[in-house]
Amino acid sequence: MRQVNLDNAASTPPLRSVLDAVTAFLPSYGSVHRGTGYRSRVSTAAFEQARDTVGRFVGADPDRDVVVFTKNTTEAINRLAATMPFPRDAVVVTTMLEHHSNDLPWRHRAAGVVHVRATPHGALDMDDLAARLDHLRGRVALVAVTGASNVTGVVQPIHEVAELAHRAGARVFVDAAQLAPHRPLAMRPHGDPGHLDAVAFSAHKMYAPFGTGALVADRSMFGHRPDHPGGGTVAAVTLADVVWAGLPDREEGGTPNVVGAVALAAAIEALTEVGLDRLAEHELALARYATARLAAVPGLTIHGPTAADKVGVIPFSLAGLDHALVAAVLADEHGIGVRSGCFCAHPYVAHLLGLDDAAAATWARRVGAGALRGAPGLVRLSLGGYSNRDDVDRAVAAIHAVAAGEIRGWYDEQPDGSFVLRCGRPALPARFAG
C-alpha cells in the first residue's frame, strides 16, 4: 500500500536537492570559526553563506538585522524572550491563535501577557487587537503573532499587525514556522510602517529536516549577555571578567549545526527557484479541492476560517468518533498519515471546538490528574508542495469509509489517549523495532 503523507504541517520530508547538498558537503565537514585547516575553512564559508541566504530570503537589512541559527523555531522564540530587553512594566501582546511556543516563553518575561481574541470562526480579531493596543499604548513592548496557523492554516495580515504595533510604540515578532515554507516572507525596510522587527522559522518544515532553525531580528533586540553562554560566545575571559563577543557569535554558543545550516540554505534556494508564489497557488487550489470533497462526507465538520488566504491545513472532526481513533484508522488501514490532537495550540483548539472557560479548565484539571483519555481535539490534514489530487482522493475515500463505520481492525485505547491496532499494524523497519 502506497503511504500518503498528509502531515506536512508537523514536518516535511527532505527535498532531493537538499540531500544532495548535504552529501556533497559532508566530506569537507569540520568545526567552524578559528580553525586554519581546509575543512574548517570550507565549513566556515558554508555556514556564513547559509546565514547570508537566510537573510536574503526574508529581506533582512544586513547592517541592522542579524541572523542567528537555532535548533528550531521554539528555541528561537525562547532565545529572543530570554535576551530581549524589557522595561519593568512592559506588556507582551499575543493572540489566541498561537502555537504554545509563541505564548509560553513570553509569560515569564513581561509584567503581563495579553491574548487578543479570535473571531467565532477562528480568525484573528483585528478590531480587538487595535483596541487592546490603543488601551495599552506606551506599555506594549512586543506584539508576537503567528504568520500562519498550524491548526487552521489561516494566514495573518502580519504587515497590518506590524503597523498597528508600531503605532502603539511596540515591536512585532512573527512566528513564521508555518508561513515560510508556503508564502513569500518579507521583513520590509526598517522605515516601512509594516516592517517586521523579528521573524523565526524552522528548516524541518521547509523540506530540510536536519535540526536547525533561524531567528532574524534587529540587533537592538538582543541583550548584551547571551542566553546560552559558553564556547564561542566570548571575546575574552579572565577569572574576574568576561568580554562578550559581538552578534551573532554570542548567541550561537557551542559547536553549531553546520550541516543543518547547509540544508536550510539548499531548501531556500530550491523553494526560491520553484517560486513561493507558484507553490502558494498550487497548495491553495489543492486545499480548495480537498475542502470541497470533504464537505460531502456525512458527519464531518471542517473547523476554522474558510477565507481564501490559507496555507494547506484542514482540521476536521467526525461526529461520534474520537479524533485519535480516526487518525489511527486512517494510518493503519488506509496508509494515510495525518495528525490528531490540539497541535500544541490548546486555547485555539478549545475555541474552535466551542469549549467555554469552565469546560477548558475542567479538561486541564483532568489532565493534571493524569486522565488523558478522551481529551478534546481534531484531525489535521496538511498539504505540501509535492501533494496532489490523488493524495487528496485517497484521503477522502478513506475518511468516507471511516465515517460510514467501516473500521476493520480492533483498536485499544492507550492511557495517553491514542489508539493502537490490536494486531496487524504495519511493522517498523527491523533497526527501529526496539
Per-residue pLDDT tens listing for the chain (434 residues): 789 999 999 999 999 999 999 999 999 999 998 888 999 999 999 999 999 999 999 999 999 999 999 999 999 999 999 999 998 899 999 999 999 999 999 998 878 899 999 999 999 999 999 999 999 999 999 999 999 999 999 999 999 999 999 999 999 999 999 999 999 999 999 999 999 999 999 999 999 999 999 999 999 999 999 989 999 999 999 999 999 999 999 999 999 999 999 999 999 999 999 999 999 999 999 999 999 999 999 999 999 987 778 999 999 999 999 999 999 999 999 999 999 999 999 999 999 999 999 989 999 999 999 888 999 999 999 999 999 999 999 999 999 999 999 999 999 999 999 999 998 676 677 676 66
DSSP classification of residue 160: H
Q: What is the pLDDT of residue 97?
A: 98
| 148 secondary structure, DSSP code | B
C-alpha cell at 416: 495517553
Rounded CA separation 198/144 (Å): 9
Measured CA angle at 359 (ends 354, 362), to 5 deg: 150
Check residue 379 and give its pLDDT.
98
Of these residues, 114, 344, 350, 402, which one is catalytic?
344
Query: Active-site residue 344, yes or no?
Result: yes
In the CATH hierarchy, which top-level class contains the domain 16-273?
A: alpha beta
Report the predicted TM-score, pTM, of the whole model to 2 decimal places: 0.96
Among the listed residues 383, 296, 424, 346, the one whose alpha carbon sits nearest the alpha carbon of residue 9: 383
Strands (DSSP E) contained in 118-250 are 140-146, 171-175, 198-202, 213-218, 234-237, 242-244
Contacts of 346 (CB under 8 A, 6+ apart): 100, 360
Cα(47)–Cα(45) distance, rounded to whole angstroms?
5
Distance CA 174, CA 77 (A): 10
Domain ranges within the chain, ordered by starting residue: 4-10+275-432, 16-273
**Strands 171-175, 198-202: pairing kind:** parallel
Q: CA 124 to CA 142: how far, in whole Å?
A: 17
For the chain, how far is it from start to end, CA to CA, in angstroms?
A: 24
Report, at the CATH architecture level, how domain 4-10+275-432 is classified: Alpha-Beta Complex (3.90)
Confirm if 247 and 66 have CB atoms less than 8 A apart. yes
- Give the separation between CA 179 and CA 202, rounded to whole angstroms: 10
Neighbours of 59 (CB within 10 A): 17
Question: According to the model, what pLDDT value does residue 433 have?
Answer: 63
Phi-psi region of 159 (alpha: psi -120 to 50; beta: other; left: phi over 0): alpha
Hey, is 332 helix, strand or coil? helix
Q: To the nearest 10°, the Cα dihedral for 363, 365, 371, 373?
A: 10
Gap between the Cα atoms of 412 and 429, Å rounded: 23
Of 143, 88, 152, nearest in space to 120 by CA: 152
Which DSSP string do the residues of 389-407 spell out, in sequence order? HHHHHHHHHHHHHHHTT--
Per-residue pLDDT at 429:
75
Contact present, 206 and 54 (Cβ < 8 Å): no
Q: Nearest 5 degrees, angle CA 153-CA 156-CA 161?
A: 165
Helix (H) or strand (E) holding 5: strand 4-5
Answer whether 305's CB lies under 8 Å from 152's CB. Answer: yes
